[in-house]
Amino acid sequence: FFSVLMAYRGAHAENPRLISGALQVVGALRTYVGDGVSTNLRALSQDPAFCAFLVTSVSCFGATGVVDLLRLLRRRKARNLALAAATPSSPKAKKKRPKKISADGEFFKHFVFLLRIVVPKLRSRGARLLLGHLLLLVMKTFLTVRCTKLTTYFLTRAIAAASWMYWIRWLVCFSGWTIAGTVINTGLKYMETQVALEFRRSLTRYIHDNYMYHNNFYHASSKKAAGLDNPDQRITADIAEFSKQAASLFGHSFTPILNFVMSLQEVSKDIGLGRPLVMFGWNVALNMLFAAITPSAAPMISREQALEGDFRAAHTRLIAHAEEVAFLEGGTTEHGILNLRLDSLVDTQSWHSLRKVAKDLADQFYKYQSMMTGGVFIHIPFLMTGALSDAERISAFRSTEELMLRCGTAFTEILLIGRKLDELAGYTHRIMCLFKAFNHPAEEPNSNGGDGQPKLESIEFEDLSVSAPEPDGSQRLLLKNLKLSVRKGSNVLVTGPNGAGKTSMFRVLAGLWPATTGAVRAPKGDVMWLPQKPYLVMGTLRDQVTYPMMLAFSTEQDERVLQCLEKAGVSKLAAGPEGLDRLHAEWNEVLSGGERQRIGFARLYFHRPVYAVLDEATSAINPDQEQALYEEVVGMGTTVFSIAHRMELRRFHQYELKVYGDGTGQWELLKL
């Protein structure tokens, strides 16, 4: 190599400084590399405590990783064997491989879509926050570069020359930058928090608008719309984490770019542009190599968040069914289910952490080799400089080194933005799956006399057929070609065995299920549903009666509300000092099943609908008391369309719709 350099020097005598520098570096390596190795090894051998800690820490890290790897492999093997034993042998079906999640063109397209939700126009709050954040980032960059150059130069010159004048200059300069830096950094933290909150508010409100439109939330929970898992986890946790990372990425992408450009401009005044550009080119090539051989973080994050949602759903489900589990003494079984979900989550995270070891090793190696490479390119020009005094050389070197260090750090952060985008892609994928599932509002399957249509005076079933999905994916026929007109005053009782399709017919009537064939039409806004388990909203006792109208602490309708509670037989609930302002976080925990059903009837009395669909609405009420509730409903002129098994209620109906539930969809209408 030395001979090649000598030959190159002869052929390029017009650029002797470059060749001379290279020859000096090679000569120094040939002369002193042995001394460098022996000196460092000797210093290491003289510090036994350091060597002991080094060996112990590395051994602990390696042993922990190996033990975890073997444990996870054993658990995976056992799980695969159990799955194979439980699955009947059959030809292997070709599974469609899921699309790889990464920071590709589709990710940027999705990110721009989400950004437009946060910043719908230039004068929006989101745009103002991003602009304010950007201005502070630019100011911080100016502050950092100027402060580094001046304070390093003044302090180094003061120490090298024992100059009080330069030390006072450093003190005044650093004091001023301290005040400015305190204000700027505080403002940056505040603005980043506000940007994250604006992202979350805008995105969550957007999905709320679509999620709550036309009962889309029902389709998500009952039918897993578009194969969506845990929409609550995606709305509450994934959007929040995405917002934090997006706000952080905004600051950590502009800052290093500005730092790099401004620091490089200052450094080039001392050592030129050639050396830094060669060094950065080497770093780019190395970063591309590491990116190609290390695993992507996006699919890992997406998978972990899905398992977090499953674990959270298991706890939510246990709370929702706590009484049933306690009665059945199912605590041990539920304990096992919770631990199973937890183990699945933790094992996946452990497996991912092992996969990330390679990525972290590459990142750390890249970080330290960048520092070493940068040092080589900075040190050589000053080792070859003889025109400066010792104080001037050390001052110029320290200021250039500090700037180059910041420049290199900024460049490294720029290259690592791709890794951060890769992580952000995992959350973006989950959020976009959520948005796509509800981006197109569900179409109303039934014509209910909306705008532009004549007002209906009856509920019409026109050749209606209803089917229910089976576990194997097939459809079970419940009702076939139902023709029925329910007019005002014609109360209809629906009977049939369990699973015959009575409630399913009401779901089609409410627009929750699509009709297999035919159609059903009902007066829009004139039908009220009263299920077996009435929904109790978070609010006051007054709100339970007026729902979906929310009056909170308004007393305008209190007289009517009290009358409705009296008619339903639950006026005692308002007898306390709080009255109708009585408030509970969870009303289902303080009211019995019968009281909840009576609240449902009080709600019915308050709204006085033209039609009332009662789905076993008195199943938890004593038979001798339910007739009074029905008499009040019929007496106020409401036509009832109800499911009931007690014979005492037949006298309140004029017709009986008998559903056979034999799989043929047969039905019969009888006059009572």
Asked if 433 contacts 231 with a C-beta cutoff of 8 angstroms, the reply is no
121-135, 235-249, 368-382, 423-437: lowest mean pLDDT where? 368-382
> Quick one: pLDDT band at residue 127, thresholds 50, 70, 90?
very high
Q: What is the mean pLDDT of the chain?
A: 80
Q: What span, in angstroms and rounded, lies between the C-alpha atoms of 668 and 141? A: 80
Half-sphere exposure of 232 (CA within 13 A, CB side): 11
Q: What span, in angstroms and rounded, lies between the C-alpha atoms of 538 and 157? A: 69
Q: Which long-range contacts (CB under 8 A, 24 or more apart) does 181-186 make?
A: 181/140, 181/143, 181/147, 184/136, 184/139, 184/140, 184/143, 185/140
62-94, pLDDT tens digit by residue? 777 788 778 777 877 776 655 454 444 444 444
* Paired tokens of 186: 């505080």
Q: What span, in angstroms and rounded, lies between the C-alpha atoms of 44 and 59? A: 18
- Give CA 180 to chain center in angstroms: 36
Task: Give the pLDDT score at 264.
Answer: 72
* Paired tokens of 651: 């006298």
143-173, pLDDT tens digit by residue? 877 777 777 778 777 777 778 888 888 888 8
Q: What span, in angstroms and rounded, lies between the C-alpha atoms of 147 and 288? A: 33
2-50, pLDDT tens digit by residue? 444 444 444 444 445 556 666 776 777 778 778 878 887 887 788 788 7
Q: How would CATH label the architecture of 458-671?
A: 3-Layer(aba) Sandwich (3.40)
pTM (predicted TM-score): 0.70
Q: Exposure of 314 by Cβ count < 10 A (0-12 exposed, 13-18 middle, 19+ buried)?
A: middle
- Give CA 511 to chain center in angstroms: 30
- Angle, in degrees to the nearest 10, between helices 125-161 and 239-271: 40
- Residue among 21, 646, 327, 239 at smallest CA distance from 230: 239
Please state the rounded mean pLDDT for residues 50-61. 78
- Residue among 230, 198, 212, 19 at smallest CA distance from 126: 198
Asked if 117 contacts 206 with a C-beta cutoff of 8 angstroms, the reply is yes
Number of residues in the chain: 672
Helix, strand, coil percent values for the chain (each to nearest 5): 70, 10, 25
Q: What span, in angstroms and rounded, lies between the C-alpha atoms of 592 and 569? A: 13
* Paired tokens of 297: 């973080």
Please state the rounded mean pLDDT for residues 528-536. 90
- Domain at 103-439: CATH code: 1.20.1560.10
Which amino acid belongs to residue 627? Q
- Which is it for strands 639-643 and 611-615: parallel, antiparallel or unpaired? parallel
- Which is it for strands 611-615 and 527-530: parallel, antiparallel or unpaired? parallel
Please state the rounded mean pLDDT for residues 656-662. 90
Q: Domain locations in the chain? A: 1-74, 103-439, 458-671
SS3 577: coil
Q: What span, in angstroms and rounded, lies between the C-alpha atoms of 432 and 439? A: 10
Q: End-to-end distance of the chain based on CA atoms, in angstroms? A: 108
Is it the case that residue 177 has pLDDT exceeding 90?
no
